[in-house]
Amino acid sequence: MACILHIETATEVCSVAVSKDGELIFQREETKGPSHAVLLGTFVDEATKELRSKGLKLDAVAVSCGPGSYTGLRIGVSEAKGLCYGLNIPMIAIGTLKLMASAVAKKGLVDPAILLCPMIDARRMEVYDALFDSQLTLVRDVKADIIDETSFIEILKDQKIAFFGNGSAKCKDALQSPNAIFVENVYPSAIDMVDLAEDVFAKKEFVDSAYFEPFYLKEFVATIAKNKVLPPHQNVK
């Protein structure tokens, strides 16, 4: 058991929590983002002040490592790296989709026989997703899927699947099978990282904070506003 700071910034939600011996002792969360660059440092500062007031020291930092928002993940992992380096403590990486599946399973939101499919919005009809059973065993690998009426069709013939996360709402019209179940108001949160992080800490399955990179799944592609594009005849020097 340990004192662990948990950071989650993979979606529009920014959250920070601290657990001591598996019990939550601090939490801050903002769901109306994205404003991670402003909020995360403030939340972490409040968490460290709370620790000092209780005479506690951190044993590790856990961070949700993706897939998800490129910018959000970069901010969260950078903060975790800085803390681990400065405090000389280990870093724990928690997969964001597994984190979401764990929250649904732990809260008993669906029957244990139903497969769990967390979905994170990747714009248009694309989502980052994976399939887990109720024991969090990975049934289908993490993918970037473009959802249409044929998605998951073979599995849905014989098996119920619970879809949730900020990517699932836009998939309701496409996934018309009676075996497709949609669970609302599920998002990755630092408060749901506690059990997963404690398990990793006990097994000492830490990542190298000096070289670790978030699991972006896809390369970041910058876009340029149309009014910023130069006409073909203009040259940039």
Q: Which domains are present in the chain?
A: 3-96+188-203 (3.30.420.40), 110-183 (3.30.420.40)
Phi, psi (degrees; rounded to nearest 5) at 4: -125, 135
Residue-wise pLDDT for 181-198, tens only, equals 999 999 999 999 999 999
Beta strands 3-8; 14-20: pairing state? antiparallel
CB of 55 closer than 8 Å to CB of 7: no
At residue 163 the predicted structure's pLDDT band, cuts being 50, 70 and 90, is very high
Q: Are 70 and 14 in contact (CB under 8 A)?
A: no
- Spatial separation of the C-alpha atoms in residues 131 and 137, rounded to whole Å: 9
- Cα–Cα distance, 185 to 229 (Å, whole number): 39
pTM: 0.90
pLDDT tens, residue by residue, 211-221: 999 999 876 44
CA dist., res. 81 & res. 45, Å (int):
15
Question: Would you say the C-alpha torsion 184, 190, 191, 196 has a positive or negative sign?
Answer: positive
Token code pair at residue 142: 């993490």
Structure tokens at 222: 């910058």
